[in-house]
Structure 1
Amino acid sequence: MNTLKPCKILVVFGLLLASCDVAKSQDKIATKSFVDEVVPFLKAHCYECHNADESEGGIAFEKYNKSANVQQNYDLWEQVIRLVNEHQMPPADQPQPSADEIAEVSLALKAVLESFDCSADKHPGRVTIRRLNKAEYNNTIRDLTGLDLKLADGFPSDDVGEGFDNIGDVLSLPPILLEKYLEAAYTIADGIFEDKKLSKQVFPHEPASDNLLAQAQAAQLNIQHFASRAFRRPVTQDEQVRLFTIMRDAWGQDVESTEIYKTVVVAVLTSPHFLFRIEKDPEKDDDDGIRKLDGFELASRLSYFLWSSMPDQRLLDLAKTGKLTERDVLVTETKRMLLDPKASAIVENFAGQWLQLRDVTRLEPDPDLFPTFDDELQQSMRKETELFFQAMVSEDRNVLEFLTADFTYVDQKLATHYGMQPVKDEGFQRVKLLQGRRGILTHASILMLTSNPTRTSPVKRGKWILDNILAEPPPPPPADVPELEEGIETLGSLREQMEQHRANESCAVCHRTMDALGFGLENFDAIGAWRDRDGKFEIDASGQLPGGISFDGADGLMKILTENKAEQFCRCLAQKLLTYGLGRGLTTYDRCVINDAYSRLQSKGYRFSELVISIVTSDPFTMREAMPLDD
């Protein structure tokens, strides 16, 4: 008898009890600190604008008089710390807390945030049943049939939620789309059988003889093979019977064999099990209403995350054996998939939306002010950033290089635009950036995205950085504040105009940070070309961020962002990638995944693959939660 086993169990049980006691103790300390130090601060400086009667920004602090309720409101208190430390709140026209008061309340709130217990409740969340979006439909048809028809380009546009077009909650199914699906299915069915070699690849099983029994057996095998690949899981017996019944009914009408198979193709490609990504909900006896995804569900999540397409045969085989749910196997497959050419989908669909590259080709700078701008240059701008992102993925580079990289990709058109030496060969070449340019924020694509048609916009550029690089979005502007007018010469330089705009204290609160970030990029005009002057005014690209951190120019700004804001950037990127990977908005409980992702990045050299691995091995990615009873 192993007498050590009961001892081990007792030790483990004791450690669990001890950890629970520590967590409870930390919670009590945090609660006391909140009541004693934070609540008085809120009463003195925040209640006037954030109360039950006047909840500016939808926030009423009065209800937090006994507890911060950090398990549900982590993001709120994280934002409070940032705004108070950056002197954005309370507004400048209100009595200001002393430096000591700010330090004390920040310390107390940090203790509150540290009391957030990732082990207290497991909430992996649930993803709404998801329709394939246009990119996913095109890619899935390509990988299922070998036909790269891009029929979804003619479908209605996909709605966008949380910044992405693969969010289950917004992917509706309008009647016109049903008609498009049916038309596309017939086109695909015809395309398969227009090529004999292709049809044999899609339906590989040949009858052993000419008799009806052999033909029926081959037909059943082909149905099973095609439908299982289309549904991304083994077809059930009931589904096989129904599909074979469709085939048999067509057979009874004495039509050609190819027409019979086309009928099945149309039936499969218009089935909800093809058009939607369906996952089983937890059963009543699943612990806490949570179940682990099976291998096939996990294979689909992984492949649509990294490839925007169906799982390949290797993933399906691993799913069938159950090995894909093993962590080591999942990690190995993730690394393999990131190196596959199909991983270009994460560039097109994730980077295209995170960095808003899809919008680049829709921009129209003023042709009189920017006569060198044309369609070819516009395409080159977008291609540069896509190739850079692809290098970050395929070379598994440090994610901080999004901010600091000293290399990029240019063709002759873009090299001329950047004032570089001519490139030696046709097409895009990897080159070293000139002094003054570093990372994606100095790519012409991003600089043009964040400009107006006639001039630069430090506000747009600063806000873009806060939204997409730091995940620190500013609040919406007050309703009564006028826009900065275009083309005003009499007010001086753009910087001087902005200073006049900030004279309104309700604007200055947010603009101090936004404008400083944006002015760091002022050496680049509205189409991303370098300049030393803006008309008759010399460019001043210096700035000062909250806390007295000064910089001069894009080089200095990138240095500050990397040295002082690296954690914020990594967390922002992790949030964006997790949202895209899950296909849903994030909740407070997803904070634990972001924490783990940042820790993993720190310990693994900030490699891009390590960020992806932290997401695909997380509970939200590998599990599914039941619908809450009150929903």
Structure 2
Amino acid sequence: MPVRRESVAALVPLVALAAGVFHAPGPLPAAAGTKAEPVFKTDGVAFLKKHCLACHSGEKAKADLALDKYADDAALLADRKTWSRVLDTLKTGEMPPPQKPQPTDAERAAFARVVSDVFEKHDRTAKPDPGRVTMRRLNRNEYNNTVRDLVGIDFNPAEDFPSDDVGHGFDNIGDVLTLPPVLLERYLAAAETIMARAITPVPPPITSRWQGAWFTEPAGPKVPTRDDWRIVTVGTGDGITTGPVHTPVQVPDRGNGDFTLRTKVYAETTGKKPVKIAFLVCCDKNAPGVATDEDVKALSGAAVNALRPFKIVEVVEVKHRTAKEAQDTRVKLGPTPGLHRIAVALVKPDAGEPEPTLYMQFMSLDGPHDSRPNTHKKLLACDPKKPIAERSREVLERFATRAYRRPVTKDELDRLLKLAERQLAKPDQAGAGGGEAPGKWEAAVQFAMTAVLVSPKFLFRVELDDRPDSAEPHAIDEFQLASRMSYFIWATMPDEELFALAAKKQLTPHIEAQVKRMLRDPKASALVDNFVMQWLQLQPLKNATPDPKTFPQFNEQLRAAMFTETRLFFTEIVREDRKILDVLDADFTYLNAPLARHYGLAHGPKAPRFHNDEEFVRVSLAGTNRGGVLTQASVLTVTSNPGRTSPVKRGRYVLEQLMGTPPPPPPPNVPELEKDGKAVNAGTLRQQMEAHRQNPACANCHAKMDGLGFGLENFDALGGFRTKDGAAPIDSSGELPGNITFTGPAELKAVLLNKKDLFARCLAEKLMTYALGRGLEFYDRRTVDTITTALAKNDYKFSALVTEIVKSDPFRKRRGKGQ
């Protein structure tokens, strides 16, 4: 749960908050003229006697809630959960019951302040408590990413896993990441699939990419042929007749392997000198051996320059003169970065020599000759001359250390080695026992690695305490810190640099530099995809169904564009280390053509230019009515109803997700604005809302929420800008407690920016919850205060927020014994 602000500002009816719509944590000052600060032992107990103890005292207390035992501060501090519930019911007006005499707003505020002060004073002076450590299971995203970085297999092995439960707004909370039996079955199946893809004990056949010469390029309706041979000549013809002849190929790992180029050709000539052809491969321009201008001049063919950059693999003589005697011609090709096309060109004859004619039957690229995947070679890398036992130990120690995110212990490694030995000792298919039959060692190690992938030490982030008897909070070890950092920022296992620093016990001294490095890494996109999208509660957009009659323009392309805009916007905030205040108001966003049209920004002299509908470009919003997440279609759509906007949803969204000041839940038996999709009352939405607020039970909360929501009323339920609601003009004015007035989204954002410390605190709480994998408690309040203060001093930079969380005690330490 979020940090509880146990102050009167969060505990009394909102109508009493004359200081303004937003409130900072902490006790309110005593009213002018008061003689002394009220204390719970006298003033608080007096309130309980007057309004509560008639029902809530003794052995037969209603709801099993006896409040007469709370006579001093110590009693309150020993039972914070109960008092959190008491104050929540007081805040919502549920207690005292309607038939009982009601305390005045001033009495409620005074009592809430008394209780709040008890917790406030204690929290500010209490012994630091970094919180408890939960052994967290990897969620689906973390599992996929960890498998990718550990094994090198980039697919979705967790696709059929059960969905992860959500707690405190996120799916990485340790307390809700349970382990149902079906998930155990899926883990085993996934581990077997992963290792079957990663290691191939029996190498697969070498791939042959064969293409008949009739179907090679350059292509056209009049490709010159004889029987099943394609004819290539030297002369002034076009590329179809003069070549070079070429065909595209798809190779693994960008051509980093050994291949064989093959063709079958013969040549006709009346000259005495041999006919020569050149084998070419199109590749990266920076690949070693790329042909120079001088090299290219020696080749024949009108299409030769269009193939560049290419590499001349080898020039060979064509000795055969008839189809009957023609044989395969082969050349070897080493690793060639960017290999994507193969070609054969005639070499220009010497001056005075007649022009030859070449006949080609096919082209082929065979390989790579080592057909095992790169994952196989990487995972099993070792000296093949070593004995089997030494090879197994080297390979499994390396793999298990990375999988467990810490050095593997001797006992753990010995158990894995025994698994491999037993597998190796089994008779092979031919019936022979033991020995090193081809692929048998690989299969044995593969089996042991599969066991690693179903070990709790891989599936859970286990943080064993090396000082379990310590009474004081103490630091987690460097490997645990590396894992906390990597799963926080990257949602995956640590990389080699983090492992290396942890092994040398140098991660803590370099923690700030590592945070900045990690945020610059492309893997930091996981922070956007996993944290931001959950914080902003955009998951409902996946299943949003706006009314097709009201919004016929909505389609899957527009839905995807809404997601992408928000994702790219936050990616820039992270990558460029911008201020977090850009979340509230920024002068840029990312749009594609459909979203630009939806926003009304597709025309005019400053309109963005797109090459196609899928391309997203950075767009300046200067001089427009947009900027920040509250004007993005993704947020505006999920905070609306299918057929209309919802000022209540939008106002509540601002309070909960951006300001961290959620309103209380609505009282029971309050009528809704809509029933079966139709308005209960006639009139504009604002008129319906005003009628709704006439109910005293609704007025307090709606005074705070509705004004915020109406400030965004110019944006319809799909995020499009409008000036009318039907025939009536839009009234986007809002008024908040404290006589704060504004009109439209620009002035609303100015109001929010004026409360930037509240937003910074809210974001710090949300991100800290995600980073720790647990809800924040009262003892985390001091840390949140420290982070928020440091963030302001560092110009609200995003990297400063992440760094302060990583440096905090709850992130770097664990509880002492008995805390």
TM-score norm. by structure 2 comes to 0.66
- Using the TM superposition, give the Cα deviation of residue 543 of structure 1 relative to its aligned residue in structure 2, in angstroms: 0.9
CA distance in 2, matches of 1:56, 1:532: 54
Partner of 1:351: 532
Structure 1 residue 536 corresponds to structure 2 residue 709:
no
Aligned mate of 1:229, from 386, 389, 402: 402
Which residues of 2 match residues 103-502 of structure 1 at below 5 A? 115-118=121-124, 120-194=126-200, 195-209=372-386, 214-255=387-428, 256-281=440-465, 283-288=467-472, 290-326=473-509, 329-421=510-602, 422-426=607-611, 427-433=615-621, 435-485=624-674, 486-488=677-679, 491-502=682-693
Deviation of the 1:61 alpha carbon:
7.9
Looking at structure 2, the residues matched to 169 and 105 of structure 1 have their Cα atoms a distance apart, in angstroms, of 34
**Sequence identity (%):** 45
Counterparts of 2:144 and 2:673, CA distance in 1: 43
Query: Aligned residue for 2:701?
Result: 510
2:619 partner letter: V
**Do the aligned partners of residues 258 and 596 (structure 1) sit closer, same or farther apart at CA in structure 2, a change above 3 Å counting?**
same
Q: How does 1:53-72 map to 2 (within 5 A)?
A: 66-67=72-73, 69=76
Task: Tell me the distance in 1 between the aligned counterparts of 2:150 and 2:96.
Answer: 57
| CA–CA distance in structure 2, aligned partners of residues 46 and 507 of structure 1 | 23
Amino acid at match of 1:259: A
Shift of 1:122: 2.1
Of the structure 1 ranges 425-434 and 48-57, higher mean CA displacement relative to structure 2 is found in: 48-57
Once the two structures are TM-superposed, the CA of residue 111 in structure 1 deviates from its matched residue by 6.4
The offset of 1:423, in angstroms, is 2.4
Displacement, 1:39?
A: 3.1
CA contact (8 A) 1:88 1:510 kept: no
Larger mean Cα displacement after TM superposition, 258-267 or 337-346 = 258-267
Q: 1:127, 1:583 within 8 Å by CA — same for their partners in 2?
A: no
Q: Deviations over 1:291-337 (max 9, x none)?
A: 311011111111000000000010011111111133xx111111110
Paired with 1:38 and 1:545, the residues of 2 have a C-alpha distance of 31
Aligned CA distance change for structure 1 residues 520 and 286 (closer, same or farther; 3 Å): same
Partners of 1:277 and 1:31 lie apart in 2 by: 51
CA shift in 2, pair 1:304/1:524, >3 Å: same
Q: Is the 8 A contact 2:681 2:688 kept in 1?
A: no
The whole-number CA distance in structure 2 between the counterparts of 1:441 and 1:269 is 43
Which of the two has greater strand per residue?
Answer: 2
Q: Is the 8 A contact 2:569 2:589 kept in 1?
A: yes
Q: Structure 1 residue 34: deviation in Å?
A: 2.8
Counterpart of 1:227 in 2: which secondary structure?
Answer: helix
Q: Deviations over 1:497-549 (max 9, x none)?
A: 01111121111121111111111111110100001111122111111111111
Query: What residue in structure 1 maps to residue 230 of structure 2?
Result: none
In 2 relative to 1, CA 40–239 (structure 1 residues): closer, same or farther, beyond 3 Å?
closer
**In 1, distance between residues paired with 2:87 and 2:581?**
26
1:181-204 CA distances to partner (integer Å, 9 max, x unpaired)?
A: 111111111111244422121222
Paired position in structure 2 for 1:9: none
Q: 2:577·2:797 contact (CA, 8 Å) conserved in 1? A: yes
Distance 1:625 1:249 in 2: 42
How many residues align? The count is 589
Shift of 1:105: 8.1
* CA contact 1:72–1:588 (8 Å) conserved in 2: no
Task: For 1:39, give the aligned amino acid.
Answer: G
1:625 aligns with 2:815: yes
Aligned residues of 1:186 and 1:262 also touching (Cα < 8 A): no
Q: What displacement does 1:366 show? A: 0.8
Contact 1:124 1:590 in 2 (8 A): yes
Find the aligned partners of 2:450 and 2:476 in 1 and give their Cα distance.
29
Partner of residue 15, structure 1: none
Inter-partner Cα distance in structure 1 for 2:526 and 2:152: 17
Q: What does 1:25-44 correspond to in 2, within 5 Å?
A: 33-35=38-40, 39=44
Deviation at 1:478, TM superposition (A): 1.8
Name 1:601's counterpart in structure 2: 791
Give the Cα separation in 1 of the matches to 2:453 and 2:96: 57
Residue 592 of structure 1 aligns with which residue?
Answer: 782
Greater share of residues in helix:
1
User: What is the rounded CA distance, in whole Å, between the counterparts of 1:45 and 1:543 in structure 2?
Assistant: 39
Whole-Å separation in 2 of the counterparts to 1:628 and 1:544: 50
Q: 2:759 aligns with which of 534, 554, 569?
A: 569
Q: The residue matched to 1:314 in structure 2 has which SS?
A: helix
Counterpart in the other structure of 2:343: none
Q: Which amino acid aligns with 1:520?
A: G
Deviation at 1:62, TM superposition (A): 6.9
Any stretches of 5+ residues in structure 1 without a counterpart? 1-29
Gaps of 5+ in 2: 1-34, 201-371, 429-439
- What is the alpha-carbon distance in structure 2 between the residues aligned to residue 75 and residue 521 of structure 1? 38
User: Structure 1 residues 119, 103: CA separation in 2 closer, same or farther (over 3 Å shift)?
Assistant: closer
Alpha-carbon shift at residue 614 of structure 1 (Å): 1.1
Flag the 1:591–1:498 CA change in 2: closer, same or farther, 3 A: same
Q: Distance in 2 between matches of 1:509 and 1:106?
A: 17
Indicate if the aligned counterparts of 2:388 and 2:441 stay in contact, CA closer than 8 A. Answer: no
The TM-score, its normalising length taken from structure 1, stands at 0.85
